[in-house]
Structure 1
Amino acid sequence: MSTVQPTRPDNRVTTAARDSTSRWRTMLPPAAVLGTLAVATIALHVRDPHEQGSWGECPTKAFFGLDCPGCGGLRAVNDLTNLRIIDAASSNLLFVATLPVIAYVFGRWSLGCWRGQAWTPSERASTWSALTLVAAFLVFAVLRNVPAGSWLAP
């Protein structure tokens, strides 16, 4: 069984008909990521991570007694869903500060999928971004576990 595709007066299949099917296929990965994030965000809004033990305990905190760079991230998401931005920053400043960057990267990726043109940052940009992110995580992890940076602890 074949599907009939719209044709132009010169009997060529329209690009729009072909592109609409492939566009939806290329948008599946961003849609899946966005859907997963939405479900996780709703779960964190409904089940408050501020309540002791509601989501378990961070393994780094449990085994080593240290706050990892992610500690407070669940509470920060809950605070953001309740529009408490200052509380979210108090829970995990690094997470809140990186949200605009995460939104930008997701937006560029999604737009590239929509247009059918993959967004591929240069190797140099990718390397520097990764190194900067790792350095920020390390500095943040150290600072929030020393007395001078105790205000960064969740």
Structure 2
Amino acid sequence: MSKRIAKIDCPGCGGQRAFHQLLHGNFLEAAQLNVFIYFFAPLLTYIFLSFALRPFNINLPDIDISTKGLIIILIILIVFTIIRNIAF
């Protein structure tokens, strides 16, 4: 939506294509499409496993991120978005 309205790439743009490339073993192409895939893929895998293993009474520890950690992640996403949209 941000691409159509504001003509900028959001932090998630290319994420699905990057995840597809990652699943096919194309690690460099995945990074070129969206470098954040290397943060989100392990996180999504962990979340999936935590839900999938619950019926078997296997509970993975919860992810506990402080407010300071969330602010740092938000700043990184904003800086990434700005750098991603600068024409080199």
- TM-score under structure 2 length normalisation: 0.72
- Give the direction of change, closer, same or farther, for the CA distance of 1:82–1:96 in structure 2 (3 Å limit): same
Query: What residue in structure 2 maps to residue 95 of structure 1?
Result: 37
Matched, 1:86 2:28: yes
Partner residue of 2:69 out of 113, 129, 132: 129
List structure 1 segments (4+ residues) > 2 angstroms apart after TM superposition. 95-107, 109-122
User: How far apart, CA to CA, are the structure 2 residues paired with 1:82 and 1:116?
Assistant: 29
Secondary structure of the residue aligned to 1:67 is: coil
Query: What residue in structure 2 maps to residue 61 of structure 1?
Result: 3
Matched, 1:142 2:79: no
CA RMSD of aligned residues (A): 2.8
- Give the direction of change, closer, same or farther, for the CA distance of 1:104–1:120 in structure 2 (3 Å limit): closer
Displacement of 1:102 in angstroms is 4.1
Q: Bigger radius of gyration, 1 or 2?
A: 1
Percentage identity across aligned positions? 26
- TM-score under structure 1 length normalisation: 0.45
- Give the direction of change, closer, same or farther, for the CA distance of 1:105–1:65 in structure 2 (3 Å limit): same
Give 5+ residue unaligned stretches, structure 2. Answer: none
Question: Conserved in 1, the CA contact under 8 Å of 2:11 and 2:80?
Answer: yes
Displacement of 1:70 in angstroms is 0.7
Aligned residues: 87
Displacement of 1:96 in angstroms is 2.5
Displacement of 1:105 in angstroms is 5.5
Give 5+ residue unaligned stretches, structure 1. Answer: 1-58
1:63-116: CA deviation from partner (whole Å, max 9, x where unpaired): 111010011112102212322111011000012344234434555x45984547
Question: Conserved in 1, the CA contact under 8 Å of 2:19 and 2:41?
Answer: no
Higher relative contact order (CA 8 A, sep 6+): 2
Secondary structure of the residue aligned to 1:93 is: coil
